[in-house]
Amino acid sequence: MTQASAASTPPAACLDRLRQEVLDPGLCVACGACLGLCPHLLLYDGQVAAPDPCGLADGRCIDLCPQNPGPDPRQRRAGLQAARGLGDEAPLGPVRRAWWGRAQAADLGGRAQYGGVVSALTALALEQGLIEEAVLTQAGQRGTPEGVRVRDREGVLACAGSIYAAGGSLQALNQALAEPAEHPLGVVALPCQSLAAAAMGAHPRYPAGRRLKLVIGLFCTMNLSARGLRQVLGQAGVEGAVTRSDFPPPPAGVLVVTTRRGVSEIPLEKVRPITLKGCAFCPDLTAELADISVGAAEGSPGWNTIIARSRTGQDLMELALAKGLVEAKAVPEESWAHLTAAAAGKRARAGSAREEINHG
C-alpha cells in the first residue's frame, strides 16, 4: 500500500508560507522570531521545524520572520525604521552617534566579547528601570545557544560572551511577552533578530510587542549551524561546553573557541561549510533596527564600536559614559570607512543572493 499522507487540516497560509519560503529552502537562521508564539513551531538543538498544519491564514509567524523579505526587502526595512521615526540610510542604517568604547567595570573583564559594552549597557538599563527584564543568550542544552531571561546585573554577567551558533533566543522573548505582565523588556539581538524585534514592536496583532523598550544590536557577518559547529568542534577534538567564541578581525582567519578546558582555534575553511545558508541573504552587518548597536573595533582589541541609532540608545550610552561605566573615544575615520565599506558589501551581496534565488 502506498498512500500519500493526507494533511488533516487544510494548509494554512501563514505557517505554510513560512515552510515554503523559509524552512524548506533552508533559509531559516534559527533566530527564534517565530518560536514561543505558538506550539506549532519547534526548536531543538538549533533546528526549527513545523510538524503540523496550524490552520490559520493570518498568524504572526510569517510576519515576524526576518528571512521572509516580502516582495521588496528594502521597503520592509524602511517601513520598520519609519515606524519608529528613523530612516533607512545606506549602508549603516540610522546613525545618531558613534564611539569606540569599552566597559570599565572589572567584573566584565575576561568573558565579555571585545569591550564588554553590551553587558554594561544591559546591566545599566535594568538598574535604571528602563527595562525590568532582558533576554540574552546563553549556551543551553547540547551546547546550542538559548534565550535566557535576566532581571539583574548578576544575570547579565552570567551570559557575557557570545556563541556564533544559531539558537533562537527570541523564543524566550516571545514567551516573556505572552505572559500576563506589563513590565518593559529589552533584548540583545543579532541583526536578523533586531529586524524581528522591530516587527514585533510594530505588528498590529502583537500588542505585547509594545513592551519591548530596548534592543541592543550586535554586529554580525554570519552565523553557524549549531549542529554543524558541534560536529566541527568534535572533529577538532574540542570538548565541553563552549563558553565563548570569537571571529577575530582579519587577517586572523580562525574561529577562536573557549571552553573550560582552554582555547582552541578552528581554521575558517572548516567553518565556512557550516555557515547558515540564510545568512547570505541578510543585508545587515550592524543591526540597523536596534536602538544601539555594538561590534568589534577593528584593529583595536579590547574595544567596541558603538552606534547609537535611537534616542533611547543614545541616552543609555551617554548615561553609561556619565556614570563612568563605559569609557569612549572617537571612531578613527579609517576604521569608520572600513565599516561602511563592509556594510555596503554585505548589502550588495545579499541583494545579488536574493536576485539569484528570485530569478535563478
Binding residues for another protein, rule: CB under 8 A, are: 5-6, 8-9, 14, 37-40, 42-45, 47-52, 54-56, 58-60, 178, 205
Query: Given the complex with another protein, which of 121 and 197 has the nearer CB atom?
Result: 197
**What length is written for the chain?**
360
**Shortest distance in whole angstroms from residue 40 CB to another protein:** 7
Spatial CB neighbours of 230, under 8 Å, sequence gap ≥ 6: 142, 143, 144
For another protein, the closer of residues 182 and 269 by Cβ is 182
Min dist CB 117 to another protein, Å, is: 35
Nearer to another protein, 8 or 358 (CB): 8
> 80 and 209 in contact (C-beta within 8 Å)?
no
| Shortest distance in whole angstroms from residue 12 CB to another protein | 8
Nearer to another protein, 67 or 300 (CB): 67
CB neighbour burial string for 69-104, b if at least 16 within 10 angstroms, e if fewer? beeebeebbeebbeebebebeebbbbbeebbbbbbe
- DSSP track, 281-316: G---SS-TTSSEEEEE-TT-TT-EEEEE-SHHHHHH
Between 174 and 305, name the residue whose CB sits nearer to another protein: 174
Could you give the CA distance from residue 225 to residue 228 in angstroms, rounded to a whole number?
5
As beta bridge partners, residue 256 has 246, 265
Q: Which is nearer to another protein, 138 or 225 (CB)?
A: 225
CB of 5 to another protein, least distance (A): 4
Residue 93 C-beta: closest distance to another protein, Å: 30
Whichever of 54 and 195 has its CB closer to another protein, that residue is 54
CA distance 133 to 122: 10
User: Which sign does the torsion angle of CA 317, 153, 302, 191 carry?
Assistant: negative
Q: Residue 101: enclosing H or E segment and its boundaries?
A: strand 97-103
Nearest Cα residue to 209 out of 33, 13, 30: 33
Question: In a 3-state reduction of DSSP, which class is residue 68?
Answer: coil
Angle between helices 170-178 and 191-202 (to 10 degrees): 20
By beta-carbon proximity to another protein, the closer residue of 29 and 117 is 29
Query: How far apart, in whole angstroms, are the C-alpha atoms of residue 288 and residue 77?
Result: 9
